[in-house]
Chain A
């Protein structure tokens, strides 16, 4: 097992690379998992938006408005004074979707409402012409219109607020049904173990391609190659040992990512589907090995290997929905990304997420796995052809 040992030993010189990559990606994954948390369901639920409120009035009417919004939205009260109020900071939070909407209730809002000089008195910040902006504006206008109408009709201030609050509570009940068309592609759920696995596609492919391509490149070094050639081993057994060593490296690295993704998603409701995510992850391993072989057939320079790996993996990750969900992409791009192998990994993760244990093992699931395998073979064959051509031209 000389070649096997030599291959594994050569990996030692890349241990720093592996540790640095793993640490960097581990941090990325943790941050991503902490930041993305929402849920979707098959039963109807109003979308709850993040609304920031600056209440400079602090009257019973403004408190009632906040209390009403709080019943259906996620409210963040910003305790600011007029002097501390920084519209730019609030706008930054709205632009970067920390809040979907922000309102500033002015000082003397209550007096303005009572005097009838309320027109456009509350300022709001929302993305230009956004749906969330329309939705919350509608809610606020409806509620305040109620209060104003009751005040105009002779009800006292307290009565108007109480009646309006009771009324919106009653009328907020609308019978809504979800019509299921079994289209799993239309929804993504970040409160699922699949989001950890989808993100791991980038990290796992990067480490696999960089490490395996670097190891194979190291073995292509003239000195190492000559030493292996004179070892007395036959061509077949040398290659068998090399393949075994590469598979072992791939398996160990993928297992690390699998365990890490499982730990990140241990509290998710679909944790029991781990086995299927595991199968998908290990088919990705073959793809990683294929890409690594292809890259190392082009170059054995570590810098170039890093460059090509980043170029291939990062671009594929962006196009195939690893970082930005494919629902946001245009139909043409989604069609194009279907030509890329990572799309099928992501698709398989989504498929597992939306199916139960009993019916996940379907033709589509197998199709996704096989496509990844076929791509791995294509990369591998391309690598062999390039190697062969280079050998031909070398003589």
Chain B
């Protein structure tokens, strides 16, 4: 009986056109929109330090020490790539013209013992250009002070400046996954939670007060819980299939790497699909109004997805710092965090904790649903 209901449920779900649309088409459309919107940010980090194209204009009688410094920064070293690409201009007008045409990103204008910076907007580029001048002025000031106060230390000073001191070392987790992949993790979370619609639709055909099919089902002398579990399994399978399509589409068609082996991503997403189905079963067993059965899963999914970073990257980390418990009870965040942990740090305790929470959520939802659904009476029929 279990298998028969299971196959009937699969057939029934596949015939619901809007459901297939939601679960198969919508995540694909959104993944494509994400890719178009910020696929370039994943492949090419917008915060990356690119070579800054800068113009250098010198007034009359200016010594070229600063030009030597910035030319030094135009060379690649073992510590960093090319920081600047310097083009010398004869006049400020010509340089401004280039700036206006966006051929360059800033101008160093050295005149009357002063280095002026001209940029088009505030930001990291202008601050980086400014920091180079500050460092130059700082070395100059050190040089002048030590020469005037302790001229005998000139050798130490030159040795010190030439030593190119480095106090910093990067702590690197060697994670090659872009932070913007978080949007795709949140998309998978949304897609998985949308499966709650599958189970609310399924519950409609199992409840006598909601559909004709439900009346016939309730009258049949079969085991109800077995039938419900067969339906849940059918929904989970369908949702897993839909998520697998999205995962493969992102990995192979869009060329974006999930950061972990694809079978692991599919396995975790299957768990999330089961979670979505369980949540839907719970909603389906609590609400009896047809409109509520379509609106509550939608509102629930969108709210959970928003707080897991679907529409605003980094929001889950803000919540983590201020109210971490919210992240632990939001199924979408628990799911995205498990993918994130796996991609960035591997199978850590936090990763297993996330999986454990998902399993616990599934169990809680199903137990409550069973308690509500068992021996249900329909006083009004």
Contact = CB atoms under 8 A, between A and B. Distances in A.
A323 B312 contact: yes
Interface in B287-329: 289, 291-292, 294-296, 298-299, 302-303, 306, 311-318, 320-321
Nearest to A299: B18
Interface residues of A, number: 100
Interface size class of chain B, counting residues whose CB lies under 8 Å from the partner chain = 35 or more
Nearest to B16: A303
A126 B21 CA distance: 41
B49 interface: yes
B165 to A, nearest CB: 5
A28 B306 contact: yes
A247 interface: no
Interface of chain A: mostly helix, strand, loop or mixed: helix
Given A21-B299, A87-B171, A152-B160, A132 B292 contact: no
A131 B173 CA distance: 19
B91 interface: no
Nearest to B25: A311
Given A47-B127, A139-B131, A96 B167 contact: no
A97 B309 CA distance: 13
A275 B190 CA distance: 37
Interface of chain B: mostly helix, strand, loop or mixed: helix
A135 B318 contact: no
B36 A333 contact: yes
Given A46-B127, A148-B160, A127 B45 contact: yes
Nearest to A94: B179
A135 B124 contact: yes
**Which of A27, A123, A174 is most buried by chain B, counting CB atoms within 10 A of its CB?**
A174
Nearest to A302: B294
15 contacts: A17-B291, A20-B296, A95-B317, A96-B182, A97-B314, A120-B169, A130-B48, A135-B128, A170-B141, A176-B126, A183-B120, A301-B18, A303-B18, A306-B294, A315-B29
Interface of B: 17-19, 21-22, 25-26, 29-30, 32-34, 36-38, 40-41, 45-50, 80-81, 83, 96, 99-100, 107, 114-128, 130-135, 137-138, 140-142, 145-146, 150, 153, 156-157, 159-161, 165-173, 179, 182, 197, 289, 291-292, 294-296, 298-299, 302-303, 306, 311-318, 320-321, 344-345, 348, 350
Given A40-B121, A129-B81, A148-B160, 14 more contacts: A88-B173, A88-B345, A103-B168, A121-B169, A129-B49, A135-B127, A135-B131, A139-B131, A141-B167, A142-B134, A149-B146, A150-B146, A174-B115, A176-B130
